């Protein structure tokens, strides 16, 4: 009974280690305290970071890419956060009706390697986040994006986004299937 009370008092609070609820469950499974789990997680994270084996290529590597057959996929994920005490308006996402952080992910299509990650406040538009992070690519690299990246063609000529329905018009069946295939390909990569 005492354990249950302890668990609910920390419910949905976050720490440096993450959600205390998860730490509590791991502690119960391994018969150790939450603080022991937190210290262990921090040690493993620090060792992983210092080993440099988990490092992403980053923007400098993106500028060096010169393979014309390479296709990059770009998309944004939203991660819910606790309501900030200051500057709430910048983090509030009207789309998900929560305070969020956005993470822009650039993935190489064939190998499914994550090439680059960039972060922004939840309120910012996907395309504005792309412009703000100043991701530069060589012109021969092809880039695919979802409809949040309308206008990317002006910045990177060799890119494609989902086809939008013209005002007062309709999409053909071929355009609808092309739009759906691009959307599914992007979602499959992001969610894998």
Same domain, 101 and 120: yes
Q: E-strand spans in 122-189? A: 142-145, 159-160
Same domain, 40 and 115: no
Same domain, 13 and 93: no
Same domain, 115 and 149: yes
Same domain, 115 and 47: no
pLDDT at 191: 63
**Residue at which a domain ends, from 51, 69, 92:** 51
pLDDT at 9: 32
Same domain, 41 and 91: no
Please say whether the beta carbons of 145 and 152 come within 8 A: yes
Same domain, 30 and 94: no
Name the residue range of residue 37's domain.
2-51
Same domain, 64 and 34: no
Give dist(CA 106, CA 76) in Å, integer.
Answer: 9
Same domain, 112 and 42: no
Q: What is the pLDDT of residues 85-129, one digit of tens each?
A: 888 888 888 888 889 888 888 888 888 888 888 888 888 888 888
pLDDT at 189: 64
Same domain, 98 and 185: yes
Number of domains composing the chain: 2
Helix 20-30 × helix 34-51 angle, to 10°: 100
pLDDT greater at residue 80 or residue 17: 80
Query: If you compute the radius of gyration of the chain from its CA atoms, what whole number of angstroms results?
Result: 21
* Residue 6 reports pLDDT greater than 50: no
Q: What percent of the chain has a predicted confidence (pLDDT) above 70?
A: 86
Same domain, 70 and 44: no
The pTM of the full predicted model, rounded to 2 decimals, is 0.64
Same domain, 19 and 97: no
- Phi first, then psi: what are they for 35, rounded to 5°? -65, -35
Q: What is the pLDDT of residues 159-192, one digit of tens each?
A: 877 777 778 888 888 888 877 877 777 677 666 5
């Amino acid at each position: 009974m005492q354990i249950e009370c302890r668990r609910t008092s920390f419910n949905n609070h976050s720490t440096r280690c993450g959600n205390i609820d998860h730490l509590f469950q791991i502690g119960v499974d391994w018969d150790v305290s939450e603080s022991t789990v937190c210290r262990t997680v921090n040690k493993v994270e620090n060792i992983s970071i210092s080993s440099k084996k988990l490092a992403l290529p980053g923007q400098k590597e993106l500028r060096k890419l010169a393979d014309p057959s390479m296709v990059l996929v770009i998309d944004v994920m939203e991660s819910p956060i606790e309501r900030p005490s200051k500057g709430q308006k910048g983090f509030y996402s009207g789309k998900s009706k929560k305070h969020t952080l956005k993470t822009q992910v650039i993935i190489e299509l064939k190998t499914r390697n994550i090439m680059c990650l960039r972060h922004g406040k939840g309120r910012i538009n996907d395309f504005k986040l792309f412009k703000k992070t100043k991701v530069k690519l060589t012109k021969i690299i092809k880039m695919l994006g979802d409809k949040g990246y309308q206008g990317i063609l002006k910045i990177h000529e060799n890119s494609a986004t989902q086809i939008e329905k013209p005002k007062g018009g309709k999409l053909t069946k071929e355009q609808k299937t092309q739009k759906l295939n691009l959307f599914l390909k992007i979602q499959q990569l992001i969610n894998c």
